[in-house]
Amino acid sequence: MTEQHAGAPTPPRALTIAGSDSGGGAGLQADLRTFLGCGVHGMTAITAITVQNSLGVTGIVEIPPETVAAQIEVVATDIGVQAAKTGMLANAEIITAIAKACDTVGIGRDGRSPFVVDPVAASMHGDPLLRDNALEAFKRELFPRATLVTPNLDEVRLLTGIDVKHRDELRDAAVAMHAYGPQWTLIKSGHLSSDPQCVDLLYDGKTFLELPGPRYDTVHTHGGGDTLASAITSALAKGWDLVEAVRFGKRYVREAVRQSYPLGGGVGPVSGMWRIRDLDEV
């Protein structure tokens, strides 16, 4: 006879709206790995399939916008989404469909499920992951709905025209991004390679909060932005307040960068799985 077994309580649930990276370093693969590392049940609304390895992106197939919206709606209405994040969104039509679906199911700032918008524009190799019409759609459709936006310095330049060259200029970038309407803005400084520290800056329209950290000497930082945003989203799904969630995300990605590893002939990923134990430790 099989034993009656109640199982475990349902864990917090988070949704990533993102593209697939066939090499497994970034995109929804990095997001799911991070959700797992944070003890969160991960769900996906896939926006695009990239043909990608450690050397770059050689192909992209975009998913129809209505299919992206349907994935969001079908998981939100059945399973429930306690926090959501975006990654590669490919084009303006997909962005518009996401905004509408998020409104329908209650994902977004101000009392709905927290929504982290990472405005991914290109891969770290410089391959575009977004069509030209999409930057305006981000500003119009997603930033005003975002609990938090997390641009890197290249995205800041594309979106605001501000070319940050020094840590002191991060504040101007945060103010300019904040004008697009998110509740909070986190400017990531991974690309500020002249700075011996890696200080990200959080801003809510009133107060600046610096999140300091060491800069590790490695080229293997593929998926770092995804890992940070997914760790923050995991903490938000657990009900943490925004500042504590961002502090946690920074600690999580810092260790992931420290434990990043080489892969293939190009750039390796940060280790979003650093909290997973080895087989002989189970």
If one asks whether residue 21 binds ligand MP5 (CB under 6 A), the answer comes out as yes
Tell me which of 65, 87, 182, 268 binds ligand MP5, using CB under 6 A: 87
Q: Is 57 in the site for ligand ATP (CB under 6 A)?
A: no
Binding mask 3-42 for ligand ATP (x = CB under 6 A): -----------------------x----------------
Nearer to ligand ATP, 26 or 159 (CB): 26
**189, interface contact from ligand MP5, ligand ATP, none, CB < 5-8 Å by kind:** ligand ATP
Binding mask 65-94 toward ligand ATP (x if CB under 6 A, else -) reads ------------------------------
Pick from 255, 263, 178, 261: nearest CA to 218 = 261
Give me the 218-237 binding string for ligand MP5, x by CB under 6 A, dash otherwise.
Answer: ----xx-xx-----------
CA atoms within 13 A on the CB side of 196: 0
In the chain, DSSP assigns E strands to: 13-21, 41-53, 56-62, 83-86, 115-117, 148-149, 184-187, 200-203, 208-211
Residues 27-86 that bind ligand MP5 (CB under 6 A): 27, 50, 52
Contact 29, 20 (CB under 8 A): yes
Q: How far is the CB of 7 from ligand MP5 (least distance, A)?
A: 33
Name the residues that contact ligand MP5, by CB under 6 A.
19-21, 26-27, 50, 52, 87-88, 120, 123-124, 129, 222-223, 225-226
Name the residues that contact ligand ATP, by CB under 6 A.
26, 124, 152, 188-191, 198, 200, 213, 215-216, 218, 221-226, 228, 250, 253-254, 257
